[in-house]
Structure 1
Amino acid sequence: MPDYHNLRRPLRRLIAALWGSGLLILSHNAAARFDVPGYELVYNAPQETTLQNDDLRDSADVWQQMFAGAKQQIDIAQFYVANQSGARLDGVLAQLRAAGERGVKIRFLLEQKGVTMSTAETLEQLKTIPGLEMRVIDYRQLSGGILHAKYLLVDGKQAFVGSQNFDWRALDHIQETGLLISDNRVVSQIQAIFDQDWQAQALLAAQQTVPERSDQSDGQTYDNYLVASPRAFNPPGVIDSQSELPRLLAAAKQRIRVQVMEYAPLSYGPQRTRPYYALIDNALRSAAARGVQIELMVADWNTKKPAIDYLKSLALLPNIQIKVVTIPPASSGFIPFARVIHSKIMTIDGELAWIGTSNWSGGYLDNSRNLELILNNPSMAARVDKLYQQLWSSNYAAPLRIDYDYPPLKPGG
Structure 2
Amino acid sequence: KVRLMIGQRFYRESKKSIEPLRSAPNLEIRVLPVDSLTGGVLHAKYFIVDDSIVFVGSPNWDWRALSQIHEIGVRINNRRFARTFEAVYNFEWKLAGHPDLPRALRAAVRPPAFSPVTEGNPVILHNGQGDVAVAFPAFSPPSLIPKWVNTEQPALVRLIESAQHTLRIQVMTLSALIHYGPRGYWKEVDNAVRDAAARGVKVKIIVANWSLRWPVQAYLKSLAVLPNITVKFSALPIAPEGFIPYARVEHCKYAVADDDRAYIGTGNWGWSYFNNTVDASVFFSGKGPVSTLINIFDRDWNGPYVTVLEPGVQYKAPKNH
**Please, what TM-score do these two structures have when normalized by structure 2?**
0.89
Name the counterpart of 2:291: 382
Give, as a single letter, the amino acid of the residue that structure 1 aligns with 2:105. P
Give the counterpart of 1:243 among 113, 132, 154: 154
Give the counterpart of 2:68 among 154, 168, 173: 173
Name the counterpart of 2:34: 139
1:372 counterpart = 2:281:
yes
Name the counterpart of 1:220: 120
Computing the radius of gyration over CA atoms, which structure comes out larger, 1 or 2? 1
Please give the alpha-carbon distance, in whole angstroms, between the structure 1 residues aligned to 2:180 and 2:251.
23
Give, as a single letter, the amino acid of the residue that structure 1 aligns with 2:307. A
Q: Which structure 1 residue ranges, 4+ long, deviate > 4 Å from structure 2?
A: 206-209
Give the counterpart of 2:81 among 176, 186, 193: 186
Q: Could you report, residue by residue, the CA deviation over 1:69-93 in whole angstroms, capped at 9, with x for unpaired residues?
A: xxxxxxxxxxxxxxxxxxxxxxxxx
Q: Counterpart of 1:242 in 2: which secondary structure? A: helix
Q: How many Å apart are 1:183 and its aligned residue? A: 1.9
Q: Counterpart of 2:105 in 1: which secondary structure? A: coil
Counterpart contact for 1:220–1:237, Cα < 8 Å: no
Please give the alpha-carbon distance, in whole angstroms, between the structure 1 residues aligned to 2:279 and 2:319.
26
Q: How does 1:246-261 map to 2 (within 5 A)?
A: 246-261=157-172
Q: Counterpart of 2:5 in 1: which secondary structure? A: strand
Provide the alpha-carbon RMSD of the alignment: 2.0
Name the counterpart of 1:332: 241
Q: How many Å apart are 1:237 and its aligned residue? A: 3.0
1:114 counterpart = 2:114:
no
Name the counterpart of 1:267: 178
Shift of the 215–316 alpha-carbon distance from structure 1 to 2, 3 Å rule, reads farther
**Please, what TM-score do these two structures have when normalized by structure 1?**
0.70
Identity %: 34
Q: How many Å apart are 1:346 and its aligned residue? A: 0.9
Q: How many Å apart are 1:119 and its aligned residue? A: 5.7
The unaligned stretches of length 5 or more in structure 1 are: 1-104
Q: How many Å apart are 1:375 and its aligned residue? A: 1.0
1:323 counterpart = 2:232:
yes
Please give the alpha-carbon distance, in whole angstroms, between the structure 2 residues aligned to 1:117 and 1:307.
26
Please give the alpha-carbon distance, in whole angstroms, between the structure 1 residues aligned to 2:311 and 2:14.
37
Please give the alpha-carbon distance, in whole angstroms, between the structure 2 residues aligned to 1:316 and 1:207.
44
Give the counterpart of 1:158 among 53, 65, 80: 53
Q: Could you report, residue by residue, the CA deviation over 1:50-71 in whole angstroms, capped at 9, with x for unpaired residues?
A: xxxxxxxxxxxxxxxxxxxxxx
Q: How many Å apart are 1:236 and its aligned residue? A: 4.3
Q: Counterpart of 2:71 in 1: which secondary structure? A: strand
1:210 counterpart = 2:121:
no
Please give the alpha-carbon distance, in whole angstroms, between the structure 2 residues aligned to 1:338 and 1:240.
30
Name the counterpart of 2:223: 314
Q: How many Å apart are 1:211 and its aligned residue? A: 2.0
Q: Larger relative CO (CA 8 A, sep 6+): 1 or 2?
A: 2
Please give the alpha-carbon distance, in whole angstroms, between the structure 2 residues aligned to 1:164 and 1:317.
32
1:232 counterpart = 2:127:
no
Please give the alpha-carbon distance, in whole angstroms, between the structure 2 residues aligned to 1:245 and 1:215.
25
Give, as a single letter, the amino acid of the residue that structure 1 aligns with 2:4. F
